[in-house]
Structure 1
Amino acid sequence: MLSFRSLNLAVLGLAVAVAGCNRESGEKAQPQASTAAIPTDTVEPKGLNGAIDYTHKGSPLPAFSLTDAAGKTTKLAAFKGKPLLVNLWATWCAPCVLELPMLDKLAETRGGEIKVLTVSQDMTGTEKVAPFLEGKGLKHLEPWLDQRNDLAFQYGASTLPTTVYYDASGKEVWRYVGGHDWTSADTAKMLAEGLGKK
């Protein structure tokens, strides 16, 4: 008998075959296709055509731990205290890679007030992820890992990238499904929502 998780993996594998980022050959199926997203008012640059979703607003930060490049685990709750932008990505996902420099710029310019947390869904671990970020010259993004995709399952994230924004108390403000220009004027307005600004 298939477990619930095995059934989810099988369904996600089918979604990968139909739509979304092409997964790296040889890796098991990972999140790809999306449904209930609400479009933004602006047009994204080519390859960055995601949508904002408020349907989970107010949901608490999940009780999960992530692994850093040294293999140390840290609970997501440890990042409470200022707004937190959790970006799920993978090295094999083209829109993810396209938006990484923009997330790096956001971490550089807004890091004092917002924590940008990029969480790799690559199952190969730090031996691939850390050198990948370094090779792209991304100096402000840390190689956090979720190799079992537990966080993606928690979010029901069927598309990469998926980015979830929390306020300082750990309550979800919105999530963004698909690629986005994190240096845009639209982004500044979106982030203001988690800072208690209008």
Structure 2
Amino acid sequence: MSARSAIVLLLGIATTIAGCDKPASGNGQAAAGDANAAASTATAPAATADEAPAAAGTAPKAGTVDRSHKGEAAPAVAFTNAAGKPLTVKAFGGKPTLVNLWATWCAPCVKEMPTLDAAAKAANGRVRFVAISQDMDPKKARSFFAERRLSTIQPMYDPQLGFSLALNANLPTTILYDKRGRELWRVTGERDWSSAESRALLSEA
């Protein structure tokens, strides 16, 4: 790795770590995540309580739905599956795909993962669930999935942080893409993906 690449990677790690919410408080919500989570677009469905825009100058609540990127194509950044095969979101064309960017060192990521697995089971294959680990050591992510017996979500690996850097995303960030690989919405920060509100969101795919 060149010196320039190393600097870019370290800056990306610092940005992602800085954005990862701290462990959740007693009310189940983590601290506010990425300030890029903005108000819904005019073409989006009527905003619910978890889609309300934040007050001017304040960061949105963690878990808030952001529709400001609706219609954008998924990054053409490659990540790898368990066999080491490079893949992109475009390769999953033909079926809606939920991408979750996470890492084992991110407490809110770890906390919400079982609810993502439950949501994936409830979707019964209608939506593909992909968890792209931003751990620099893929073995940690593999061990995490094995220890917690998370068998429904497809684990992927991105040790170069290419996906989160392409989106300038904090962790966790979850994005729903339609079957053409176009974004429908994204959520930054921890969320209960097994809740009725989240099931309604997933039904948009």
Pair in the same fold by TM > 0.5: yes
Question: Which residue identity is paired with 1:167?
Answer: D
Q: Taking every aligned residue pair, what percent have the same amino acid on both sides? A: 38
Question: Which residue identity is paired with 2:106?
Answer: C
Among 166, 177, 200, the residue aligned to 1:189: 200
- Root-mean-square deviation over aligned CA pairs: 2.7
Say whether residues 1:84 and 2:97 are aligned partners.
yes
2: distance between equivalents of 1:120 and 1:146? 6
State the shift of 1:110 in Å: 0.5
State the shift of 1:154 in Å: 1.1
Say whether residues 1:13 and 2:25 are aligned partners.
no
2: distance between equivalents of 1:144 and 1:11? 19
Moved over 2 A (4+): 2-17, 19-22
Question: Which residue identity is paired with 1:130?
Answer: R
User: Counterparts in 2 of 1:47-196, with a 5 A limit?
Assistant: 49-125=62-138, 127-157=139-169, 159-194=170-205
2: distance between equivalents of 1:4 and 1:37? 28
Unaligned runs of 5+ in 2: 23-31, 40-47, 52-60
State the shift of 1:71 in Å: 1.4
Question: Which residue identity is paired with 1:132?
Answer: F
* Cα distance change on mapping 1:55 and 1:68 into 2, 3 Å: same
* Cα distance change on mapping 1:133 and 1:58 into 2, 3 Å: same
Measured against aligned partners, the alpha-carbon deviations of 1:139-165 in whole angstroms (never above 9, x if no partner) come to: 2123210110110011110x2100111
TM normalised by structure 1 equals 0.78
Question: Which residue identity is paired with 2:172?
Answer: P
CA contact (8 A) 1:165 1:173 kept: yes
TM normalised by structure 2 equals 0.76
State the shift of 1:94 in Å: 0.7
* Cα distance change on mapping 1:16 and 1:130 into 2, 3 Å: closer
* Cα distance change on mapping 1:54 and 1:130 into 2, 3 Å: same
2: distance between equivalents of 1:170 and 1:189? 20
CA contact (8 A) 2:50 2:65 kept: no
Measured against aligned partners, the alpha-carbon deviations of 1:43-64 in whole angstroms (never above 9, x if no partner) come to: 9xxxx94211111110012212
Measured against aligned partners, the alpha-carbon deviations of 1:15-68 in whole angstroms (never above 9, x if no partner) come to: 745x6346xxxxxxxxx951132486159xxxx942111111100122122211
Greater CA drift, 165-174 or 137-146:
137-146
Between the two proteins, the alignment pairs up a number of residues equal to: 177
Question: Which residue identity is paired with 1:84?
Answer: T
1:35 corresponds to which residue? 35
* Cα distance change on mapping 1:36 and 1:73 into 2, 3 Å: closer
Question: Which residue identity is paired with 2:198?
Answer: T
